[in-house]
Amino acid sequence: MAPVLQSSQQWVEKYRPKQVKDVAHQEEVVRVLTNTLETSNCPHMLFYGPPGTGKTTTALAIAHQLFGPELYKSRVLELNASDDRGINVVRTKIKDFAAVAVGSGQRQGGYPCPPFKIIILDEADSMTEDAQNALRRTMETYSKVTRFFFICNYISRIIEPLASRCAKFRFKPLSEEIMSSRILHICKEERLNLDAEALSTLSSISQGDLRRAITYLQSAARLFGSSISSKDLISVSGVIPQEIVKAFLVTCKSGNFDVANKEVNDIIAEGYPVSQMLYQLLELVVEADDVSDEQKARICKKLAEADKCLVDGADEYLQLLDVASNTMRALCNMPQEFSYEC
Amino acid sequence: MLWVDKYRPKTLDQVMVHQVIAQNLKKLVTEQDCPHLLFYGPPGSGKKTLIMALLRQMFGPGAEKVKVENKTWKVDAGSRTLDIELTTLSSTNHVELNPSDAGFQDRYIVQEIIKEIAKNRPIDTKGKKGFKVLVLNEVDKLSREAQHSLRRTMEKYSSYCRLILCCNSSSKVTEAIRSRCLNVQINAPTEEEIAKVLEFIGNKEGLQLPSGFAARIAEKSNRSLRRAILSFETCRVQQYPFTSKQVIPPMDWEEYVAEIASDIMKEQSPKRLFQVRGKLYELLVNCIPPEIILKRLLYELLKKLDVELKHEVCHWAAYYEHRMRLGQKAIFHIEAFVAKFMSIYKSFLVATFG
Ligand SMILES: Nc1ncnc2c1ncn2[C@@H]1O[C@H](COP(=O)(O)OP(=O)(O)OP(=O)(O)O)[C@@H](O)[C@H]1O
Ligand SMILES: Nc1ncnc2c1ncn2[C@@H]1O[C@H](COP(=O)(O)OP(=O)(O)OP(=O)(O)O)[C@@H](O)[C@H]1O
Ligand SMILES: [Mg+2]
Ligand SMILES: [Mg+2]
C-alpha cells in the first residue's frame, strides 16, 4: 500500500471554516449572507475589523457556496495586497472582469449561481486613493452584473464614496468564550491536552485574534508535544515575562540612570520586541497603586510617542532608553522640562 | 576561510549556544505541517546559523549545495516595465533572498517575484517534504506596503511553500505578519557562552589561550558572537603566542566615534561642528550605518556626562534618530544632534562654572 501522505496544511488553513454558517461570533454578517444564499441577492459589501476575525474566511466561503467549484474561477476574482492593484489594474483587469456579462441565474450542481460575479478586494486598505477613486465608476457601471467585497483592517482608509456604496460589517475581536470553544474543538481533533489555565492563557494572549491563537497552539504542540501548559504557550507567543517588565519599573523608580541603561541594553540583547515591552509597561503602570495620576500621565504620554516612533521605524534601543529616562524622571518627580535646552 | 564561517555549526545537534531552541526546531520539522517561522534577535546572535542548520535538518546535506544567481527580473508596473536586480541563493528545495535590497521597489519583489517563486517553483518530488522553503532576510527593513503584500501570500500558498523570515527588530514587522508565524526569539549569547565558543575554536586551531583571554574578548564583543570570533582571529593575526596583557583591538570606526565625542566635549563652536562634519562623512562613506554612529556617539557621551545631562542627551539622540528615519539624508540629523548637544553642553558649562 502506498504510504499515506501526511497533510502539510497548517492548522490555520485546515480549520478555516468552509461555510458561512461556521464562522463564529459574527452573527450579523452570517445572517445577511445566509439570506443571500436563499434569495441569491446581495449588495456590495465592506468587511472591516482587526486581524484574524474571519473576514477573508467569510468572503471566500460565501463565494464558494454561491458558485461551487465549477463556476468559481469564472465568477470570482480575488485580489489582495500581494497583487498589483494600482490605478492601471483597476482600469484594465478589474474593469474587464466586471464588464463580462453572465447568464441568467440558474441553479447548477446544487449551487445557487446567481446572475452576477464577485470581485473580492482583500486588504483593500493598502490600495491607493487614486486606485479607489478609479473604482467608483466601475462599481456603478457594472453593478447589475458585479458585486464588490471590500475587506480591510482600517475602514478609515477606504474612501467615503466607496464605503457609502456598501453594506458595512464590523468583524469583532472574538470573545474569550468563543475563542476557547474553537480552541477546544481543534484540541479534540488533534488529540491535544490543554488544561484550564493554558486555555485561558491562550485566549487572553491572543487578544481576540483567532489566527494567532491557532498558530500559537500549533507551535506549542509541535515544540512541546501533546500536553501543553500555560508556560509553553507564553514562550511561543513573544510575550515578555512579567518579572522583566516589573524589574524595569523598579529600576526606573530607583533613579539610577546607568543601571537603567544597562537594563535597556540587556532587554535588547535578549531580543524582546520593544513594542511589546511598551504595551506591557503601559498595562503595569496604569494599574499601579503607588504611582500618582500625574506621574501616570507623564509616563503614558511618552509610551505613546515611542510607540509611534517605532512604527515609523525608529531604533528600538534609543526609544526604550528615552522611555526609561522619562519614566524615571516622572517617578522621581524630577521636573518635566529639561534645564539646558535653549 | 574566516573562522566565523569555518566554525559555523552545520547541524542542529552541533550548535554550541541556543541548544534548547535547536532541539525544539528539530521537533518542529518532524511533522509535515510546520508553520511559517520568524526568527528575530540582535546582530551576530546566531539566527542565520540556526536557519541553515534547520534547512539541513529538513532537506539533508543537499540544502548546503546552493547556487548564487544574479538575475534581473522584469516587472510590469502598470504603465512601464521595471528592471529589478536581485541576488538569490537557492538549492533544490529552498530559495533565499533579501527583498529589502530593492529599496523602495521592494513591494514589487513581494508582489511579483516572491509570489512567482511561491506559486511556480517545482517541488522536488524525490524529496521527503511536501513543501519548499523561502527564506527572506531583513524583513524588518521592508516597507509597510511590501509587508502588507506578503500577508495573503503567506496564507494562499502555505500548503506547499513555507516562509522563514529573519530580522533584527521584530517591532518593525507588522502584527499581521507576526501573527502568521511561529516567532522564534534568538537572544544574544551571554559572555560566558561566547567565551566557551572562543575556547572551542582556539582548541581546534591548536592555540594556547592565557587564562581569562577568551573572557576579555567576550566582554568587548557587546554580546555579538560574530564580532567576538572576528576579533579573536584579528588577535591571532596581530600577535601569537597570546599574552595575558595583549590588547583586544577595538574597531577603527569606534575609535573614530570616540574621537568625535571628545572633540565636541572640548569645544562647542560652529568651527568645531564643521570639523566634525568631515569625520561624520568619513564614517558614512565607509558604510557605517547612521543609526549605529549615532548610538555609538551617545554611548561615548554618556560615559562622560553628568547624570543630569544624561537624560537630556539620550532624549535628543532618540529624537534625531527618529527624524533621520523620516528624512532622507542621514548627515543632517546626526549633525543636528551634534549641534543640539553642543548647545546643551555649553549652557550646562556656563550654568555650572560661569
Ligand atoms: N470568526 C471566525 N470563525 C472561525 N474561524 C475563524 C474566525 N476568525 C478567524 N478564524 C480562523 O483564523 C484564521 C484566519 O482568519 P481570516 O483569514 O478570516 O482572518 P482575517 O479577518 O481575514 O484577518 P486579516 O485582517 O489578518 O486578513 C482562519 O483560517 C480561521 O482558522
Ligand atoms: N549556535 C552556535 N554555536 C556556535 N557558533 C555559532 C552559533 N551561532 C552562531 N555561531 C557563530 O557566530 C557567527 C554569527 O552567527 P550568525 O551569522 O548566525 O548571526 P546572525 O544572527 O545571522 O547575525 P546578523 O543578524 O548580523 O546577520 C557564525 O558565523 C558562527 O561562527
Ligand atoms: Mg484576511
Ligand atoms: Mg545573518
The yes-or-no verdict on residue B310 having pLDDT over 90 is: yes
pLDDT value of position A5: 40
Handedness of CA A115, A120, A124, A127 (dihedral sign): negative
User: How much distance in Å is there from the Cα of B47 to the middle of ligand 4?
Assistant: 6
Q: In which region does residue B201 sit, left (phi positive, over 0), alpha (psi from -120 to 50) or beta (all else)?
A: alpha
Distance CA B171, CA B175 (A): 9
- State whether residue B250 is helix, strand or coil: coil
Question: Does any ligand 2 atom lie closer than 6 A to the CB of residue B197?
Answer: yes
Any domain includes B341:
yes
Indicate whether B269 belongs to any domain: yes
User: Is residue A65 within 8 Å of residue A76, measured between CB atoms?
Assistant: no
Q: Do the domain assignments include residue B244?
A: no
Q: Do A340 and B312 touch (CB under 8 A)?
A: yes
- Going from the C-alpha of B72 to that of each of A270, B75, B87, B107, B108, the distances in angstroms are 38, 9, 9, 16, 13
Q: State the smallest CA–CA distance between residue B5 and chain A in angstroms.
A: 22
Tell me what pLDDT residue B209 has: 93
Chain B contacts of A342, Cβ < 8 Å? 343-344, 347
Q: Are residues B258 and B290 in the same domain?
A: yes
Q: How many domains does chain B have?
A: 3
Ligand 1 near A273 CB (within 6 A): no
Burial of B18 per CB tally in 10 Å (0-12, 13-18, 19+): buried
- B269 is in which domain, residue-wise? 252-353
Ligand 1 neighbourhood includes A56 CB (under 6 angstroms): yes
Of A71 and B118, more confident = A71
Q: How high is the pLDDT of residue B115?
A: 80
Give CA–CA dist B296/B292, Å, rounded.
Answer: 6
Grid coordinates representing B307 are 547624570
Whether residue B311 sits in one domain with residue B234: no
Give the C-alpha separation, A306 to A315, whole Å.
10
- Strands A146-152 and A117-121, how do they pair? parallel
Assigned domain for B68 exists? yes
Instruction: Tell whether the model's pLDDT for residue A2 goes beyond 50.
Output: no
Let me know whether B104 and B176 are in one domain.
yes
pLDDT tens per residue across span B329-353: 999 999 999 999 999 999 999 999 8
Q: Sorting pLDDT into bands at 50, 70 and 90, what band is A264?
A: very high
Say which CATH topology domain A11-170 has: Rossmann fold (3.40.50)
In the predicted model, what is the mean pLDDT of residues A302-324? 96
Same domain, B295 and B333: yes
Which DSSP helix (H) or strand (E) runs through A121? strand A117-121
Q: Are B112 and B34 in contact (CB under 8 A)?
A: no
What single string gives the DSSP state of each residue in B147-170? Answer: HHHHHHHHHHTTTTEEEEEEES-G
Residue B337 neighbours by CB under 8 Å, 6+ apart:
B294, B297, B316, B317, B320, B321
B135 and B162 co-located in one domain: yes
* Candidate from A8-17, A297-306, B35-44 with smallest mean pLDDT: A8-17
Class for the domain spanning A242-332: mainly alpha
Q: What is the mean pLDDT of residues A180-199?
A: 95
> The C-alpha cell of B178 is what?
507576526
Please give the distance, rounded to the nearest whole angstrom, from the Cα atom of residue B65 to the centre of ligand 2: 19
Last residue of a domain, one of B185, B214, B229: B185
**What Rg value do the Cα atoms of chain B yield, rounded?**
24
Is-cis flag, bond preceding B241, omega within 30?
yes
Which one of B45, B141, B179 would you mutate to disrupt binding with A, by most A Cβ within 10 Å of its Cβ?
B179
Q: Which amino acid is at B354?
A: G
B72-89 pLDDT, tens per residue? Answer: 888 877 677 888 888 999
Which pLDDT score is estimated for B144?
Answer: 86
Residue A51: pLDDT over 60? yes
Question: Would residue B246 count as lying in a domain?
Answer: no
Q: Is the pLDDT of residue A342 over 80?
A: no
| C-alpha B47 – ligand 2 centre gap (Å) | 6
- pLDDT band for B34, please (50, 70, 90 cuts): confident
A60 Cα: distance to centroid of ligand 3 (angstroms): 10
Whole-number pLDDT of residue B19: 95
Q: Is the domain of B221 the same as that of B127?
A: no
Question: Per mean pLDDT, which of A21-35, B28-42, B158-172 is the most reliable?
Answer: A21-35
Using the Cβ of B291 and the Cβ atoms of chain A, whether some distance falls under 8 Å is answered with yes
Give the per-residue pLDDT at B217. 96
Same domain, residue pair B38 and B165: yes
Note whether residue B117 is domain-resident: yes
What average pLDDT does range B174-189 have in this prediction? 90
- Pick from A205-209, B61-65, B88-92, B275-279 the range whose average pLDDT is largest: B275-279
Distance between the two ends of chain A, CA-based, in angstroms? 82
Four-residue CA torsion sign, B45, B49, B55, B58: negative
The single residue listed with the C-alpha cell 515609523 is: A312
Report pLDDT digits (tens) over B207-237: 999 999 999 999 999 999 999 999 999 999 9
- Beta-carbon count within 10 A of A107 CB: 11
pLDDT of residue A4: 33
Phi, psi at B67, each rounded to 5°: -120, 145
Tell me which residue in B78, B309, B317 faces A89 most closely, judged by beta carbons.
B78
B175 touches chain A (CB under 8 A): yes
**Calpha distance A126→B259 (Å, rounded):** 46
Domains in chain A: boundaries: 11-170, 176-237, 242-332
- Closest Cβ opposite residue A274 in set B171, B183, B317: B171
Q: Provide the Cα torsion A297, A299, A301, A302; round to 10°.
A: 170
Amino acid of residue B265: M
pLDDT at A14: 92
Pocket of ligand 2 contains residue B45 by CB under 6 Å: yes
How confident is the model over A293-310, as a mean pLDDT? 96
Are B202 and B257 in the same domain? Answer: no
Does residue B125 share a domain with residue B71?
yes
- What pLDDT is stored for residue A257 in this prediction? 97
Q: Do B51 and B164 belong together in one domain?
A: yes
Specify whether the CB–CB gap between B311 and A329 falls below 8 A: yes
In CATH, A176-237 is 1.10.8.60? yes
A39: closest CA of chain B, how far (Å): 30
How far away is chain B from the Cα of A289, in angstroms, using its nearest Cα? 26
**pLDDT on residue A307:** 95
Amino acid at site B108:
Y
For A30, half-sphere exposure in the C-beta direction (CA atoms, 13 angstrom radius) is 15
Fold agreement (A11-170, A242-332): no
Residues B43 and B137 in one domain: yes
At residue B121, the pLDDT reads 58
Beta-bridge mates of residue A79: A121
The pairing of strands B94-97 and B80-90 is antiparallel
What is the pTM (predicted TM-score) of this model?
0.89
DSSP three-state, residue B230 = helix
CATH of the domain at B107: 3.40.50.300
pLDDT at A1: 30
Q: How far is ligand 1, taken at its centre, from the CA of residue A212, in Å? A: 9
Is residue B172 included in any domain, yes or no? yes
Rounded to 5 degrees, φ, ψ at B264 are -80, -15
Contacts of A268 in chain B (CB under 8 A): 42
Q: Is the pLDDT of residue A305 over 60?
A: yes
pLDDT greater at residue A126 or residue B266: B266
CA distance A99 to A77: 12
- Which of B185, B200, B224 is the C-terminal boundary of a domain? B185
Ligand 1 binding pocket includes A211 (Cβ within 6 Å): yes
**Cβ B21 under 6 angstroms from ligand 2:** no
